């Protein structure tokens, strides 16, 4: 039985897909920014000498990295309200993806912190900076430069995880595609275009990060 490709239905709904993509990006950007803040704090805790910092941070990272994100998404959306935390779909998903990104970014950041020479911290201490000032003015900016080359795979992976929001009917790209699919029956066309949008966006993210990396490169 022949199947003739007909993209008409998909093009007519292309706006709807783009809206979905914008929401996917919005979810990813918000969650990754919050996750980066969480990851930064965790990374400093992971490399600290204080057991009361290391143990909880290690526990957080280990638990979250061993949970399927879909389970977290469903847990936050269905179980948390039972426990008295009622969040709308989008907030619930952002919460999950932020917490989850935090665990992955913590590991990336930790690796970036380890390669910063101890002498820089000592130079900072010697001029009278506090540990917190050293972290914010010296260590964090250098860590970011260290991790940028390896950051894109994590960021892209987190962006792709936004498709799991479809499971709780957040109208992001995957959910939008499913809706078009169901209404138009153009199965192949819908998923082809949707795949192309994901791939193109991932390329753009990688290109953007490479651009940032070049902009922040230290002159020599």
Partner 1 sequence: MAKTILDIRGLRKTYGQHEVLKGVDCAVQEGEVIAIIGSSGSGKTTMLRCINMLEEFQGGTISLDGEEIGYHVEGTARRRKSEKEIARQRALTGMAFQQFNLFPHMTAAENVMLGLIKVKKMAKFEARAIAETWLDRVGLASRVDHYPGQLSGGQQQRVAIARAIAMAPRLMLFDEVTSALDPELVGEVLQVIKGLAADGMTMLLVTHEMRFAYEVSSRVIFMNQGVICEEGNPKEMFVRPKTERLAEFLKTSSFN
- In this complex, which beta carbon is closest to partner 1, that of residue 50 or of residue 66? 50
- In this complex, which beta carbon is closest to partner 1, that of residue 55 or of residue 120? 120
Q: Which two tokens stand for residue 120?
A: 């820089």
CB 109 within 8 A of CB 143: yes
117 burial type by CB count under 10 A (0-12 exposed, 13-18 middle, 19+ buried): exposed
Residues 143-202 that bind partner 1 (CB under 8 A): 145
Torsion of CA 11, 162, 98, 209, to 10 degrees: -70
Identify the residue among 129, 192, 205, 209 touching partner 1 (CB under 8 A).
129
Name which of 1, 27, 12 is nearest 173 in CA terms: 27
Identify the residue among 48, 130, 150, 153 touching partner 1 (CB under 8 A).
130
Name which of 188, 190, 189 is nearest 176 in CA terms: 190
Residues 98-117 that bind partner 1 (CB under 8 A): 117
Identify the residue among 25, 41, 67, 138 touching partner 1 (CB under 8 A).
138
- In this complex, which beta carbon is closest to partner 1, that of residue 83 or of residue 118? 118
Identify the residue among 63, 70, 120, 199 touching partner 1 (CB under 8 A).
120
Distances from the Cα of 21 to the Cαs of 18, 24, 121, in angstroms? 5, 5, 43
Cα separation, 53 vs 217, in Å, equals 32
- In this complex, which beta carbon is closest to partner 1, that of residue 141 or of residue 149? 141
Count of alpha carbons within 13 angstroms of residue 178, beta-carbon side: 12
Q: At what angle do helices 187-216 and 173-184 cross, to 10 degrees?
A: 160
- In this complex, which beta carbon is closest to partner 1, that of residue 34 or of residue 140? 140
Task: State in angstroms the smallest separation of the CB of 27 from partner 1.
Answer: 31
Identify the residue among 114, 122, 150, 185 touching partner 1 (CB under 8 A).
122
Identify the residue among 49, 51, 214, 220 touching partner 1 (CB under 8 A).
220
- State yes or no: residue 141 binds partner 1 (CB under 8 A): yes
By the criterion CB under 8 A, which residues form the site for partner 1?
A: 117, 119-120, 122-131, 133, 137-138, 141-142, 145, 218-220
């Amino acid at each position: 039985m022949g199947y003739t490709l007909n993209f008409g239905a998909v093009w007519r709904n292309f706006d709807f897909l783009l809206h979905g993509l914008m929401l996917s990006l919005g979810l990813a950007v918000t969650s990754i920014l919050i996750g980066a803040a969480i990851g930064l704090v965790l990374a400093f805790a992971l490399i600290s000498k204080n057991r009361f910092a290391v143990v909880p941070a290690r526990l957080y990272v280990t638990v979250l990295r061993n949970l399927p994100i879909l389970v977290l998404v469903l847990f936050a959306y269905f179980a948390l309200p039972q426990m008295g935390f009622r969040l709308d779909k989008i907030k619930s998903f952002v919460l999950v993806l932020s917490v989850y990104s935090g665990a992955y970014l913590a590991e990336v950041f930790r690796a970036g912190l380890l390669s910063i020479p101890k002498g820089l911290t000592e130079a900072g201490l010697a001029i009278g900076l506090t540990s917190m000032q050293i972290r914010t003015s010296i260590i964090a900016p250098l860590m970011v430069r260290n991790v940028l080359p390896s950051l894109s795979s994590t960021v892209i992976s987190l962006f792709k995880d936004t498709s799991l929001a479809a499971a709780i009917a957040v109208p992001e790209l995957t959910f939008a595609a499913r809706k078009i699919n169901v209404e138009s029956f153009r199965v192949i066309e819908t998923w082809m275009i949707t795949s192309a949008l994901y791939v193109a966006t991932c390329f753009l993210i990688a290109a953007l990060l490479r651009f940032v990396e070049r902009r922040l490169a230290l002159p020599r």
